[in-house]
Structure 1
């Protein structure tokens, strides 16, 4: 018993060290300090994000001040400034000369925000994982009680929040062997224009893409067994690998995702078509749990911050393992 207590004390002291760069997939968090910490690999819990941090980010992105974040508008420009500042202050470098990747397929000035966390392995850093979400929305919608601003909290300030929280972790800790490209896409609502532009541009530059993971509409929980579902479930083994890396089933198959062809309707798809590698979206909008799609009532007050933090905390160690496995395990079926 004394030996066990000594090991527990050392573990807690190690977690308190500010300079630690231990991968999050190997950390043990103290979510409740009054409870006994169980030193068992299967019971480890991750705390990369919390409800308060999630609320702070999504509240800004979905505020009336940004006027619905329509591509090319002043509101989305303000969102871009906010995203860039998070990148700058958390060690995420511009992939291009600046963070802004100007779209060539959209008439109004619009741009993706692209940040890089270079891999720390001499060989694997030449492979890339794109982690993305679209940060634009539709601007305005059908008036409800005089309100016309389509704030787009779930669609897709929620996904943007997830990408930013995950980027903050990797930008600060640098635990990834493969290089990570964090992308917030513009003009998704105009026909996936931001992702089409970037996927084509990177392909021409012989970008070595391993896989692409996209976050879309994760603001409210599903009333289902799994935490999330993945689009294009049968196209690749990504769902299987995510669950293996998580040590439990956190993503599943949603029949309606196939029925509505969601695999082809988000920013993962241009990367799939350009590179022919696994490129998929994780989502928790299941057509039954949220009634405000492209609606002015898609407001931050409808979001479940605890649920969002759970998605982030489950997916961060998964992405870390994805970035660090020595061989390419995620493959097309």
Structure 2
């Protein structure tokens, strides 16, 4: 009987350990945050993967926050924005909410808009207002600025070709493609998408470029050909995109009600930030039939009263139980063995 009881406890604890370790999260940036006099306190929020348990994760005084990326182990957020009048990239430890500055410099223009983290190469691609786009190592070293093309709001890194894609002058009609290694040669592709495009995502496996715009989601080949609208905006403004090819999902964020800007006024009038997801297979099949998905076929993951500029969904779950839980399980297993021997 004792052996059976101990085994039952061991199984329950093992399930609990795995469940706790596998709890996926969503993180997002609120562009305006809160005000203290004339100073902005940027805010980063978190929630469970189903949108529940929304909470303020971290607040960075005197800073605007924009782009956000999550490390593969789920422990570190890389965040772009503006601090002390200059572009800034910093990190947030999701376990204790501590913040560390990576780089704040006029070389990053007056604000960093979007980031694209590639941990395999240890690099972060970024784009700015006033200083074009560039790339930096995750430890803050080897900073390279590519061009001074003005305001570039969307960026994506292609690891296969070692190239950075960035919108030029906010429009998706021309996207600069720059070699991330010297001699930094740049070319341009045209997607025939002459509308505001604040987000880019690259599908290296299938050779697609996804563009989040003020009118919906567009997709083209990596050379800009074959551009077409694949998802309607549903009277909202799409700011962030994230591909999860493993689970066949496209996530996108924006503001309900067709608001074209994330602003303090939007929050005052009750506009809501959202994160949605849609099946890539369903998206492709619907477009192949020359019709868009209906709004009922798009799943609302999260709605919040804060503004959402960009977001990061934890799609790779940590599978290892904590050290304390593992130690407890070992002790119980040894106890079970001793009971059997007695």
Give TM-score, length-normalised by structure 1. 0.30
Higher relative contact order (CA 8 A, sep 6+): 1
Bigger share in helix: 1
Bigger share in strand: 2
Give TM-score, length-normalised by structure 2. 0.29
